[in-house]
Amino acid sequence: MANKERKLALIVLIASLFVFFSSLMFLIFGRELAMIVDEMATRVTAIFISFASFCSTSAFSYLVYKNNKNASRINDDLNKRAELFRELQFASNNYSIIEFKDKMNIYVESNRYIQKYLGRNNLSYHIFEEGIDYQDVLKNTNKYLFFSLKVPFVVVEGKVVSSIKIEKLKFERNGRDYYFVSHDESGETIAFILYDEYTKQRQMIINLIVDKDIDFFDEQNINEFSKLKINIKITSLLGVEVKGVSELYFTNPESNEHSGINSYWINASNFKLTEMPTISKLHQL
């Protein structure tokens, strides 16, 4: 497009220069030409004036076209900047930041829910120990253990939370790390958000799938995890999402012998933002 415009400008410039020098020649040698051409002079002059008028009109139209195009480009750029500013302003006013607090629980997932998801061949709301094959879990379920992780949270800044998605989990215990990753196409697994009428708190629940040969969790004993790291994406009710990393530190783990639940009091937690707030696409909500 730029080369085409340069060629057009060059043509207009050459034509204009031709008209200018021709006019100059007629001005200088006008009398001589009149004596030689005589009656043809009027016709030649009329043709030349018409051509000159055409060239000048073309040049003026081209300049108007260029000016309008530049003005349109500037307006488009300003509109895009204004739209981007509105989006940034909306995102900065309508995001959600949460804090996990009180007590985290780990327990065996309900067999009813396990059979429900296996029957659909869809393990949504589950996050897998690193290295586990999704299809193998569906085919050889007896090789794996299913647990649920439940953590209360509060919104410390921003709007009501619409959804929570988890990309990765890392448990730390006695110097050993246990990694869990999402097998969803998006790379993120959505978590349950439940409201507990008894504690008046919202709770995030995500299910864990572990190989039976891994000593990740023993429901009959206390499993002394000291830290949990969560790569998380939080989407507000108005569709603004933030990505970050939550780190939870535990003290005094407890085990309920009757229910098999391990409870961990959250001694400290923090949230680190990894991406600025952005507006989600509608199909992601």
DSSP 284: G
d(CA 144, CA 138) in angstroms, rounded, equals 10
- Cα torsion 193, 173, 136, 163 to 10°: value is 20
d(CA 83, CA 86) in angstroms, rounded, equals 5
Helix spans in the chain (H) = 2-28, 30-37, 40-93, 111-119, 134-139
The pLDDT score that the predictor gives to residue 284 is 45
- In DSSP terms, 65 is beta-bridged to none
Query: In the block, which residue shows the tokens 């196409």?
Result: 185
The pLDDT score that the predictor gives to residue 285 is 42
Helix 2-28 to helix 40-93 angle (10° resolution) is 150
For residues 255 and 261, the answer to whether their CB atoms sit within 8 Å is: yes
The pLDDT score that the predictor gives to residue 173 is 87
The total of other beta-carbon atoms located within 10 Å of residue 48's CB is: 14
Cα angle, residue 96 at apex, residues 91 and 100 outer, rounded to 5°: 160
d(CA 4, CA 106) in angstroms, rounded, equals 68
3-state secondary structure of 141: helix
Residue whose C-alpha is closest to residue 226's, from 147, 284, 171, 186:
171
d(CA 100, CA 153) in angstroms, rounded, equals 4
Helix 40-93 to helix 30-37 angle (10° resolution) is 130
The pLDDT score that the predictor gives to residue 220 is 78
Burial of 226 (0-12, 13-18, 19+ CB in 10 A): middle
Kind and range of the H or E run holding 150: strand 144-158
Q: Which two tokens stand for residue 153?
A: 């949270």
Residue whose C-alpha is closest to residue 210's, from 254, 260, 171:
171
The pLDDT score that the predictor gives to residue 261 is 85
Burial of 53 (0-12, 13-18, 19+ CB in 10 A): exposed
How many Cα atoms within 13 Å fall on the side-chain side of residue 2? 0
For residues 149 and 209, the answer to whether their CB atoms sit within 8 Å is: no
Query: In the block, which residue shows the tokens 């730029």?
Result: 2
Give pLDDT tens digits along the chain (285 positions): 566 667 766 776 776 677 667 666 665 666 666 665 555 556 566 666 666 677 777 777 777 877 888 888 888 888 888 888 888 888 888 899 999 988 899 999 988 888 888 888 888 899 999 988 888 888 888 999 999 999 999 999 888 899 999 999 999 988 889 999 998 888 899 999 998 777 778 999 999 999 988 888 887 788 888 899 999 999 998 889 999 999 999 877 776 655 778 888 898 899 999 988 888 875 544
User: How do the domains of the chain map onto residue ranges?
Assistant: 2-93, 96-284
